[in-house]
A and B are shown apart, each in its own frame.
Chain A
Amino acid sequence: MDNNKFFFQRYGLAEQDLERYLAAALSAGGDFADLYFEYQYSTSISVDESMVKSATQGISAGCGVRVISGERTGYAYTGELTSERILHAARTAALIASGPSKTPIAGFKPEAMRSLYPATPSVDAEMASKLDLVQRADRAARAYDPRIAQVRVSYADELRHILVVGSDGSMAADVQPLARMNVFCIAKNGADGNSARGSTGGGGRVALDFFLTEKTPEHFATEAARQAIIQLDARPTPAGEMEVVLGPGWPGILLHEAIGHGLEADFNRKGTSAFTGLVGKRVASEKCTVVDNGTLPSRRGSLNVDDEGSPTQNTVLIEKGILKQYLSDKLSSRLMGIPDTGNGRRESFEHIPMPRMTNTYMLAGQDDPADILRSVKYGIFAKNFGGGQVDITNGKFVFSASEAYLIEDGQVTAPLKGCSLIGNGPDVLTRVSMVGNDLALDEGVGTCGKDGQSVPVGVGIPTLKVDRITVGGTK
């Protein structure tokens, strides 16, 4: 368990200290307490107008103390990892309970560890190598087409050490790398012509090598430039209900917004989700099987353990159209009597964990993607998306297409601009009539926000046909 030693060595912590802090956390009673230690080191570098305008590095460290008493959660944190400050936080969090003190279980049982991450974290690589990546992307984007007028490329990575110990004797440590490259381009049709944007990015829990061998700077740059150039000729989008084909990969954000959030256990425990009470019921067509899988090696949404120290899992959410289960953390698991699926996540030590997605995707179906497009008389092919949002209570979700085309008589024709899609979570998947055999996960760009907390996630779908959804255009 080398991972544990980081905090022990750097801050002179010993197991007895952890027991002492947990005892302080349970000094007014409570059912459970845990400590979350975090130390995050990050670097970034960016090229803008072909100049390296920014290079940064930073450190953020601290400890969060949580005390659970029934449905109540007390939380306090400190950015100073000293005994005095941690004990103070523990006593503050303890105030959520009001009873005789409890004693945490003595002795910790460390969680056995697998590793989904590369051995060499990118934060340790030379900044000069990262600089080379962003400069290569800048050159490739500019070389793509003379109409590319602006290029901004950034590379950012981090290494996050965590240690989670609970009053039940649980202990887990992890060292989580994360790296990402982004390219943003603006294309312009001559000096007085119209402009358009294109952006792309990717990465994951990968070593720097990933950007040299698997997804190169040229790959991201060419894709961003291509999108910007295509958008120069985009036309206004039609408005109203129509057939929509979603391309593979990042358009899986549809699942994330329409289904995923509504299946997070906290909303269902409180009865505030449009999916409350639907386990065992049909929520999608038979062709749809959806999973949340935190165990895929190197993926942006993957984790060895979640932020409560529980191992992540591959959880089937919807099987052949039937809702199977919710995504849970420790609190909802205990209060609802359902399995803890290892989805307890938090942005940092300053935040209370809650059920969150990892990598959410639909399994591949049988249909040939070309047949799917051919089957549409008049509709939209949404190939790539920007952001999305959902109201989990009434189920309404929206997302905006960054690259979309008209489909006429089975042929993909004009590129469209200003296209957003709006639908209803509990019934959009019941209208999925074709599922492609081409499942793809996104390239590693997703960041999900909930209650003001951001965490990295992954999404994916094969090519999908939705028979009817409202397209928000102007025509």
Chain B
Amino acid sequence: MLTAERSPKLETDLKQLAHDVVRRAMAGGASAAEAVVHDGSEFSTVVRLGEVETLKEAGSHAMGLRVFFGRRSASTHTSDLSAEGLRQLVEGALALARLTSEDPHAGLAEPELLGSASGDLQLYFDDVYSLPTEERIAWARRAEAAALSADPRIRNSEGGSFDAANNHKVMVNSLGFAGEYKSSYCSLAAVPIAQIEDSPMQRDYWFSVARTLRKLDSPEHVGRVAAERALRRLGARKVKTARVPVIFDPMVARSLLDTISQAVNGDAIYRGASFLAGKLGEKIAGENVTVIDDGIMPGGFGTSPFDDEGVPTQRTTVIERGVLKSYLLNTYTARKLGLKTTGNAARGLAGTPGISSGNFFLQPGTRSPHKILADVRQGLYVTEFLGFGVNLVTGDYSRGASGLWIENGEPAYPVEEITVAGSLRDMFNNISEIGTDLEFRGSTAAPTLRIDGMTVAGE
């Protein structure tokens, strides 16, 4: 069996390997270089109808290298960390960099900006790998069993699952930055299917995710919630096309926050590929809207001590009382826009760094989700979006949806095969209610929201 415990020797080895590669790139004529190593292991199991369906366990590692010749750059990556693999990695990058263009804004981060956030960020707990395989399978089985036994109308299942993963990231550059950190992750999920006689089946899911087993919800809770979510969809119908208040439950409100984070991404901003380009300092949302990107929140799924250019992560106020205060930037986009990086550089192994948010969330409001619903005479409570109908350039928004129809403050019946459409500009300004129920189930989070003036299309 693979074990999650990495000996200190291996950590040093990966860092040493990264140092070696950077040194060899510099010896080969590069003016700057940066190496990143990912090393991880994963475990997953799915139990379906009580029986183990899949069991997967493995580990892998890979290295990426970025080199500069002045303002030209290129990158290579490999999963082959043998001497021959690393030789190809270095020589390939040096050769490719001759082909690329001088770009006045290209380069590593300014040396004085490099560093690492201090303190214990609570990213790594070795308990995620502490359970024996049989116990992990039992957790997955319990989650599914709780869903299946919740109600006789739960008639089938795509299973219960338990996942665990560890990652170790190393970053070294020729300006003297060398950093590394480990992170852990575990999750539990259930996907039941509900059906009444021969009417259409309805599937839904629920999950719990954490950096330590101690913070995972019980398998029984996960299974029960999953069953409730599938059951409440039974008998769903279409509704007439109408303009009504739309309530976003926290899971779908979260997708709206993802859209905001993409719209303030420096890459889209400098290209003019976002409807928020050039709007810094302007009012783009209602006064009740404050959005934060926090890269240093302890234990967060979007937390890290430094970004993928070796710049410390930070807490950034993106929207304050409706006013756009900051974009999310890496070194390149900051230079393009004449601003300072916000420590949001993100890269895989290949290519130039992009941008990703840290823990990105909408500040909770003062009303309970129950009260928000109680005020709706007639409207739509959206519990799931389907499809990708968001155009960041124009702000046009049109997505498939399902959820519950609300009449006189109460859920009346489930609805599906409808769309919810509007423009993001209007939507941000028409958030009329914000719930108290902010909870992180990933790196992006939002409480319950009510948005007025959207079009629900159906029959």
Name A's B-contacting residues (CB within 8 A). 44-45, 51-62, 71-79, 88-89, 92, 95-96, 127-128, 131, 149-150, 152, 186, 188, 194-197, 231, 237, 239-241, 270-272, 274, 350, 352, 386-391, 393-400, 417-420, 422-424, 470-475
Which residues from chain A contact B350 at a C-beta distance below 8 Å? 44, 56, 58
Which residues from chain B contact A88 at a C-beta distance below 8 Å? 2
Interface hub of A274, A395, A470, A471 (most chain B Cβ within 10 A) = A470
Pick from B56, B60, B203, B236: contact of A62, CB under 8 Å: B60
B208, CB-defined interface residue at 8 Å: no
B290, CB-defined interface residue at 8 Å: no
| Chain B contact residue count (CB 8 A cutoff) | 81
Q: Determine if B398 and A271 form an interchain contact, defined as CB atoms under 8 angstroms apart.
A: no
Interface hub of A77, A197, A398 (most chain B Cβ within 10 A) = A398
Given the contacts A52-B99, A62-B79, A398-B386, A150 and B459 also touching, CB distance less than 8 Å: no
Q: Determine if A474 and B398 form an interchain contact, defined as CB atoms under 8 angstroms apart.
A: yes
Given the contacts A56-B75, A58-B78, A417-B391, A150 and B58 also touching, CB distance less than 8 Å: no
Pick from B57, B103, B421, B458: contact of A53, CB under 8 Å: B103
* Known interface pairs A76-B57, A239-B455, A418-B394; 10 further A-B residue pairs with C-beta atoms within 8 A, sorted by A's residue number: A52-B100, A53-B352, A54-B351, A72-B53, A79-B59, A241-B459, A393-B202, A420-B419, A471-B419, A472-B419
Which residues from chain B contact A54 at a C-beta distance below 8 Å? 73-75, 100, 351-352
Q: Determine if A240 and B389 form an interchain contact, defined as CB atoms under 8 angstroms apart.
A: no
Q: Determine if A56 and B55 form an interchain contact, defined as CB atoms under 8 angstroms apart.
A: no
B287, CB-defined interface residue at 8 Å: no
Q: Determine if A72 and B388 form an interchain contact, defined as CB atoms under 8 angstroms apart.
A: no
Q: Determine if A420 and B203 form an interchain contact, defined as CB atoms under 8 angstroms apart.
A: no
Given the contacts A79-B62, A352-B56, A473-B455, A57 and B76 also touching, CB distance less than 8 Å: yes
Pick from A75, A196, A399: contact of B54, CB under 8 Å: A75
Which residues from chain A contact B272 at a C-beta distance below 8 Å? 149-150, 186, 188, 195
Which residues from chain B contact A417 at a C-beta distance below 8 Å? 391, 394, 396
Interface SS majority for chain A:
strand
Q: Determine if A391 and B419 form an interchain contact, defined as CB atoms under 8 angstroms apart.
A: no
Interface hub of B61, B88, B400, B455 (most chain A Cβ within 10 A) = B400
Q: Determine if A470 and B418 form an interchain contact, defined as CB atoms under 8 angstroms apart.
A: yes
Given the contacts A72-B51, A472-B421, A396 and B416 also touching, CB distance less than 8 Å: yes
Which residues from chain A contact B10 at a C-beta distance below 8 Å? none
Interface string of B383-405 (1 = CB under 8 A from A): 00011110101101111101000
B48, CB-defined interface residue at 8 Å: yes
Q: Determine if A150 and B271 form an interchain contact, defined as CB atoms under 8 angstroms apart.
A: yes
Q: Determine if B53 and A71 form an interchain contact, defined as CB atoms under 8 angstroms apart.
A: yes
| A238-B421 Cα distance, complex, nearest whole Å | 10
Q: Determine if A240 and B402 form an interchain contact, defined as CB atoms under 8 angstroms apart.
A: no
Give the residues from 46 to 73 in chain B that come closer than 8 angstroms, CB to CB, to chain A.
48, 51-62, 73
Pick from A45, A350, A420: contact of B99, CB under 8 Å: A45
A-B contact pairs, 7 of them (CB 8 A): A51-B103, A60-B78, A78-B58, A150-B271, A352-B54, A420-B399, A422-B418
Q: Determine if A470 and B80 form an interchain contact, defined as CB atoms under 8 angstroms apart.
A: no
Which residues from chain B contact A128 at a C-beta distance below 8 Å? 99
Given the contacts A54-B352, A394-B236, A274 and B55 also touching, CB distance less than 8 Å: no
Q: Determine if B387 and A399 form an interchain contact, defined as CB atoms under 8 angstroms apart.
A: yes
Pick from A196, A352, A423: contact of B417, CB under 8 Å: A423
Given the contacts A56-B77, A400-B387, A474-B455, A96 and B52 also touching, CB distance less than 8 Å: yes
Which residues from chain B contact A271 at a C-beta distance below 8 Å? 156
B365, CB-defined interface residue at 8 Å: no
Pick from B60, B158, B394, B416: contact of A195, CB under 8 Å: B394
Q: Determine if B52 and A239 form an interchain contact, defined as CB atoms under 8 angstroms apart.
A: no
